[in-house]
């Protein structure tokens, strides 16, 4: 069954939809909790946070408080929430909440830092709720240092169900041992939210047993979630591009993280499917998950042959020795899958077959847009001290017409063991991340001297994740105000910020920013971007010039990109990347401060400009610089970073004409393991520069940047825009025109008139080869950025050689005179440039250790391959 063309078509439609409807709708609050307590432990005042939560003082809920103390955090929290103070004690203390019958979410918020008279590393304690042990001998600092969660903030969520007339008593007990006589217990925040009775607990009167949890291994056995079980949320993952914050849940303040960290095989993500189709909640209640969860799916890809060869796999780290409840969410919105039986797949949990005919349509009574949940209970044997992976695998059933598998969301809960415990082990201190998370502080050396500013400056040493949380919260509040709805907001902790920059940058107050831009005087505007204006500013008493990018507060898309940009930039330093100086987040302003680039964008020096024309050599140097910047993005950081919006306006020039790649707003971490050869994601980028392969397949690899860079190379050569609608048909697209000319052997036609006579013939030839190889249709045949750097360096070398010694004899075969297949680098290996590069590395995706690679031999043979067209 060939579904490729229709998938490409639907991909195109999706792309168009994304262009026109970039904003997702906001979930209505479907469920209003009867009870909601948000407690700011250790604080005597009430606190309303921007996430919509009203935190109240804890004293009236303390039932046993003789020895407990309230103390402020010595390192002020940079995350908004109940973190300024904590309740701490060397002995036991209890909170008692009057709650009615029925299941509740119990959420615990911890900020692992030192408090007055309490050293961070001495926090070592157990937490019990009623008869259940939630945490036992919990070493908070060790958990924070293990870095599974953002920053030094720890968040735990439980589902607990009490018998009639109970109070919910939560007890904190310091774990005293002879080695730790002065250990203590602490808590920063507690939240209790009621939930619908049968959301996770099994309705004993449920007649439809297909929705009940089945025990893995003995599939015929049901394993109902009894009312007296307590569950700990381990994962709540939606398949998609962005996490769903608590405020956008169906009313229970759950946050839905993204699953990409846990997918270990290749896959394709489709977002915002069937926006016109209304979901019908006939199989599960409408509060089960927000609508958006069911509108994005992950599947295996569009090649059934390849799909038959692997299992779509997730690996979820868990503690052994416990039983787990796994909930899988599905919804069929793909119009291709009209009939039950068309697509069915196997599901394996812990390598045991749990479904051999998983057919979403037949589960949903043959109707599209009907969400369903399948539940499995799996026991993981072991001694409670190990961390293992729980695996979920999906594979097409060979008898199915469509050879694919798909899923929308995964929830995983740990169930209390027979002694009522949920406690897992502390992380192994010997296996902490190599570089501990240093709270890098770069104090604002311009502090005005008042303690208040000083505190602000310290607080200003904020990790970007923290800032991101604020931004999330900010946008949610913004939107909430607009909607006039009562929805609650998330705590940033639950928000699933999966990657944290380790670098921090300078914090600016809004007053400083206003002062440096004459209160955002429009005369200071030096650029306008999709998400706001860029101002020129002066800081440090006017001694330093900076570019100040002020985000428009009303663009959700912008927020995400803004967040990415801080995250990316704060981690990256390179001669050919624009440096982030700092940021400001205050008074609803989100501002980034960059080094100022005197000469503006590359485009401003190529066309539609009064600037003098750049010489060919200058242009080559700029291309080499930009290529080096991109190469660093792809290989220099911990993970491959894909820019996603390479274009001539995102290459800036400093006063010495050094090219600097800017604007990582669309960046995205690339494949992490070599088994994941691409990240699939919604298509973003700028018209004229988007890799057709990425656009069609929504498979993003660093080769998409290579393509866009190829377009820039042509812009540099021709001095015109990538698309010129008023040009004659053949010349509208610069790429097509260049390819056409190349085939005719007349590439010199496209050369900028201002460059006439400057380009040495063999240099033009080589340059054309580089540009066109970057533009090959098949991404795998394009050179890596490293190869592009080497080739451009060689071109520059040729140009310099041609200028210096006119007598240099080079192979002058006119590669542009014949067909595309003549893109030969035949004599490259003989060149002197190659002596710079020694070892022949591979050019596999995501390889990080390739700083000094040369152009691999097989690359040349691939480029020679005419199939690349």
Ligand X SMILES: *[C@@H]1O[C@H](CO)[C@@H](O)[C@H](O)[C@H]1NC(C)=O
* CB of 654 vs ligand X, minimal distance in Å: 41
* CB of 382 vs ligand X, minimal distance in Å: 10
Which of 421, 533, 640, 784 forms a contact with ligand X (CB under 6 A)? 421
H or E element: which one contains 297? strand 297-299
Question: Which residue's CB is nearer to ligand X, number 603 or number 697?
Answer: 697
Between residue 323 and residue 342, which ones bind ligand X under the rule CB under 6 A? 323
> Mask of contacts with ligand X, 485-514, x by CB under 6 A?
-x-x--------------------------
Letter string b/e over residues 554-593, b meaning 16 or more CB atoms within 10 A of that residue's CB: ebbbbbbbbbbbbbbbbbbebebbbbbbbbbbbeeebbbb
E strands in 26-176: 36-40, 47-48, 54-57, 62-64, 69-72, 85-89, 93-98, 102-111, 124-129, 132-139, 153-162, 167-174
Which of 10, 169, 499, 557 forms a contact with ligand X (CB under 6 A)? 169
User: Does the footprint of ligand X cover residue 817 (CB under 6 A)?
Assistant: no
User: Does the footprint of ligand X cover residue 721 (CB under 6 A)?
Assistant: no
The C-alpha atoms of residue 730 and residue 728 are separated, in whole angstroms, by 6
The C-alpha atoms of residue 23 and residue 780 are separated, in whole angstroms, by 33
Task: State the Cα torsion 841-843-845-847 to the nearest 10°.
Answer: 20
Between residue 79 and residue 98, which ones bind ligand X under the rule CB under 6 A? 96
3-state DSSP of 478-526: HHHHHHCCCCCCCCHHHHCCCCCCCCCCEECCHHHHHHHCCCCCHHHEE
Residue 638, both tokens: 């911990």
User: Does the footprint of ligand X cover residue 203 (CB under 6 A)?
Assistant: no
Which of 267, 311, 517, 765 forms a contact with ligand X (CB under 6 A)? 311
Question: Which residue's CB is nearer to ligand X, number 403 or number 660?
Answer: 403
Do the beta carbons of residue 230 and residue 418 sit within 8 Å?
no
The C-alpha atoms of residue 636 and residue 628 are separated, in whole angstroms, by 10
The C-alpha atoms of residue 679 and residue 700 are separated, in whole angstroms, by 5
User: Does the footprint of ligand X cover residue 65 (CB under 6 A)?
Assistant: no
Beta bridge partners of 660: 652
Under DSSP, is residue 392 helix (H, G, I), strand (E, B) or coil? strand
Question: Which residue's CB is nearer to ligand X, number 381 or number 757?
Answer: 381
User: Does the footprint of ligand X cover residue 30 (CB under 6 A)?
Assistant: yes
Residue 825, both tokens: 């680098």
> Mask of contacts with ligand X, 244-273, x by CB under 6 A?
--------------------x---------
Do the beta carbons of residue 794 and residue 833 sit within 8 Å?
yes
Q: Which residues have C-beta within 8 Å of that of residue 361, sequence separation ≥ 6?
A: 332, 337, 339, 340, 342, 343, 367, 368
> Mask of contacts with ligand X, 42-61, x by CB under 6 A?
---xx-x---xxx-x-----
CA distances from residue 392 to 147, 230, 314, 357 in whole angstroms, order as listed: 24, 23, 5, 16
Query: Among this protein's residues, is 857 annotated catalytic?
Result: no
Which of 90, 107, 128, 395 forms a contact with ligand X (CB under 6 A)? 395
Which of 39, 173, 415, 771 forms a contact with ligand X (CB under 6 A)? 415
Do the beta carbons of residue 558 and residue 240 sit within 8 Å?
no
Question: Which residue's CB is nearer to ligand X, number 127 or number 661?
Answer: 127
Residue 468, both tokens: 């991101």
Which residue do the tokens 């009203």 mark?
Answer: 54
* CB of 858 vs ligand X, minimal distance in Å: 18
**Start-to-end Cα distance in the chain:** 25
User: Does the footprint of ligand X cover residue 5 (CB under 6 A)?
Assistant: no
User: Does the footprint of ligand X cover residue 180 (CB under 6 A)?
Assistant: yes
Q: Which stretch binds ligand X (CB under 6 A): 389-397, 623-631, 717-725, 808-816?
A: 389-397
- Helices 616-635 & 702-718, crossing angle to 10 degrees? 170
Catalytic one among 241, 249, 259, 645? 645
Do the beta carbons of residue 246 and residue 493 sit within 8 Å?
no
* CB of 98 vs ligand X, minimal distance in Å: 9
Do the beta carbons of residue 171 and residue 92 sit within 8 Å?
yes
Under DSSP, is residue 589 helix (H, G, I), strand (E, B) or coil? strand
> Mask of contacts with ligand X, 129-148, x by CB under 6 A?
-xx----x--x-xx--x---
User: Does the footprint of ligand X cover residue 226 (CB under 6 A)?
Assistant: yes
The C-alpha atoms of residue 774 and residue 712 are separated, in whole angstroms, by 10
The C-alpha atoms of residue 337 and residue 354 are separated, in whole angstroms, by 22
User: Does the footprint of ligand X cover residue 418 (CB under 6 A)?
Assistant: yes
Annotation-wise, does 482 bind a ligand?
Answer: no
User: Does the footprint of ligand X cover residue 6 (CB under 6 A)?
Assistant: no
User: Does the footprint of ligand X cover residue 389 (CB under 6 A)?
Assistant: yes
Binding footprint of ligand X, residue count (CB under 6 A): 56
* CB of 814 vs ligand X, minimal distance in Å: 34
User: Does the footprint of ligand X cover residue 351 (CB under 6 A)?
Assistant: yes
Which of 63, 219, 748, 847 forms a contact with ligand X (CB under 6 A)? 63
User: Does the footprint of ligand X cover residue 32 (CB under 6 A)?
Assistant: no
Residue 234, both tokens: 């381990």
Question: Which residue's CB is nearer to ligand X, number 419 or number 543?
Answer: 419
Q: Which stretch binds ligand X (CB under 6 A): 409-417, 495-503, 532-540, 549-557?
A: 409-417
User: Does the footprint of ligand X cover residue 393 (CB under 6 A)?
Assistant: yes
* CB of 46 vs ligand X, minimal distance in Å: 4
The site for ligand X (CB under 6 A) is made up of: 4, 28, 30, 45-46, 48, 52-54, 56, 63, 96, 121, 124, 130-131, 136, 139, 141-142, 145, 166-167, 169, 180, 226, 228-229, 264, 286, 303, 305-306, 309-311, 315, 323, 348, 351, 384, 387-389, 393, 395, 415-421, 423, 486, 488
Q: Hey, which residues are catalytic here?
A: 645
Residues at the binding site are 549
Please enumerate, by residue number, every residue annotated as part of a binding site for ATP. 549
């Amino acid at each position: 069954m060939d579904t490729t063309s229709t998938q490409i078509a639907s991909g195109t439609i999706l792309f168009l939809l994304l262009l026109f409807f970039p904003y997702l709708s906001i979930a209505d609050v479907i469920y209003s909790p009867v009870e909601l307590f948000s407690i700011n432990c250790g604080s005597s005042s009430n606190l309303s946070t921007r996430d919509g939560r009203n935190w109240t003082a804890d004293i009236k809920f303390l039932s046993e408080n003789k020895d407990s103390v309230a103390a402020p955090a010595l390192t002020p929290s940079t995350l908004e929430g109940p973190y300024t103070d904590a309740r701490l004690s060397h002995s036991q203390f209890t909170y008692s909440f009057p709650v009615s019958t029925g299941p509740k979410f119990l959420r615990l918020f911890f900020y692992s830092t030192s408090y007055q008279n309490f050293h961070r590393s001495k926090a070592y304690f157990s937490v019990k709720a009623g008869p259940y042990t939630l945490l036992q001998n919990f070493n908070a600092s060790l958990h924070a240092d293990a870095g599974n969660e953002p920053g030094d903030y720890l968040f735990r969520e439980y589902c607990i169900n009490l018998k009639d007339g109970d109070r919910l008593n939560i007890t904190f007990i310091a774990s005293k041992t002879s080695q730790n006589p002065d250990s203590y217990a602490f808590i920063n925040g507690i939240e209790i939210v009621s939930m619908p009775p049968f959301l996770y607990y099994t309705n004993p009167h449920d007649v439809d047993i297909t929705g009940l949890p089945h025990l893995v291994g003995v599939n015929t056995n049901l394993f109902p979630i009894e009312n007296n079980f307590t569950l700990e949320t381990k994962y709540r993952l939606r398949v998609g591009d962005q996490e769903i914050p608590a405020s956008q849940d169906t009313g229970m303040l759950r946050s839905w993280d993204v699953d990409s960290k846990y997918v270990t095989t290749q896959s394709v993500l489709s977002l915002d499917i069937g926006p016109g189709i209304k979901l019908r909640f006939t199989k599960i209640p409408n509060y089960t998950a927000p609508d958006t969860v069911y509108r994005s799916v992950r599947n295996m890809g569009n090649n059934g042959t390849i799909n038959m060869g692997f299992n779509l796999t997730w690996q979820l780290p868990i503690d052994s020795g416990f039983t787990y409840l796994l909930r899988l969410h599905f919804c069929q919105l793909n119009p291709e899958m009209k009939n039950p039986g068309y697509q069915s797949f196997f599901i394996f949990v812990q390598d045991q077959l749990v479904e051999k005919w998983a057919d979403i349509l037949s589960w949903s009574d043959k109707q599209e847009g009907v969400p369903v949940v399948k539940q499995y209970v799996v026991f993981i044997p072991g001694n409670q001290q190990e961390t293992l992976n729980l695996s979920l695998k999906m594979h097409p059933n060979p008898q199915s017409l469509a050879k694919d598998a798909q899923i929308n969301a995964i929830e995983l809960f740990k169930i209390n063991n027979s002694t009522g415990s949920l406690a897992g082990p502390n992380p192994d201190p010997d296996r902490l991340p190599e570089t501990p998370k240093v709270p890098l502080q770069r104090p604002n050396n311009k502090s005005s001297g008042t303690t208040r500013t000083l505190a602000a400056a310290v607080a200003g040493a904020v990790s970007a994740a923290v800032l991101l949380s604020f931004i999330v919260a900010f946008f949610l509040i913004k939107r909430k105000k607009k909607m006039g709805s009562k929805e609650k907001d998330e705590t940033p902790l639950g928000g699933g910020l999966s990657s944290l920059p380790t670098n921090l940058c300078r914090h600016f107050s809004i007053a400083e920013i206003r002062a440096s831009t004459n209160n955002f005087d429009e005369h200071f505007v030096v650029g306008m971007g999709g998400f706001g204006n860029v101002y020129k500013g002066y800081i440090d008493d006017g001694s330093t010039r900076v570019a100040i990018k002020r985000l428009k507060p009303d663009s959700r898309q912008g927020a995400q990109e803004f967040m990415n940009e801080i995250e990316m930039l704060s981690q990256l330093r390179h001669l050919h990347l624009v440096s982030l100086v700092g940021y400001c987040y205050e008074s609803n302003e989100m501002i980034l401060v960059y080094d100022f680039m005197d000469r503006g964008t590359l485009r401003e020096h190529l066309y539609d400009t009064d600037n003098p024309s750049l010489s060919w050599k200058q242009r080559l140097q700029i291309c080499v610089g930009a290529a080096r910047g991109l190469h660093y993005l792809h290989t220099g950081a911990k993970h491959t970073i894909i820019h996603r919006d390479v274009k001539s306006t995102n290459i800036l020039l400093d006063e010495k004409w050094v090219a600097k790649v800017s604007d990582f707003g669309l960046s995205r971490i690339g494949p992490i393991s070599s088994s994941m050869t691409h990240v699939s994601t919604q298509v973003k980028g700028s018209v004229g520069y988007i890799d057709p392969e990425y656009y069609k397949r929504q498979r993003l690899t660093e080769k998409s940047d290579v393509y866009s860079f190829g377009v820039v190379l042509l812009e540099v050569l021709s001095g015109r825009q990538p698309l010129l609608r008023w040009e004659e048909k053949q010349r509208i697209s610069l790429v097509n025109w260049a390819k056409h000319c190349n085939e005719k052997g007349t590439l010199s036609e496209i050369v900028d008139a201002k460059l006439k006579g400057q380009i040495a013939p063999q240099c033009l030839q080589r340059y054309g080869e580089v540009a066109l190889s970057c533009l090959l249709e098949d991404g795998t045949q394009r050179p890596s950025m490293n190869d592009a750097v080497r080739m451009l360096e060689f071109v520059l070398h040729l140009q310099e050689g041609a200028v210096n010694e006119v007598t240099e004899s080079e192979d002058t075969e006119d590669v542009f005179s014949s067909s595309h297949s003549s893109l030969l680098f035949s004599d490259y290996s003989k060149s002197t440039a190659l002596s710079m590069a020694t070892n022949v590395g591979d050019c596999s995706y995501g390889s990080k250790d390739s700083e000094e690679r040369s152009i691999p031999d097989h690359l040349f043979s691939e480029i020679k391959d005419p199939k690349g067209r």
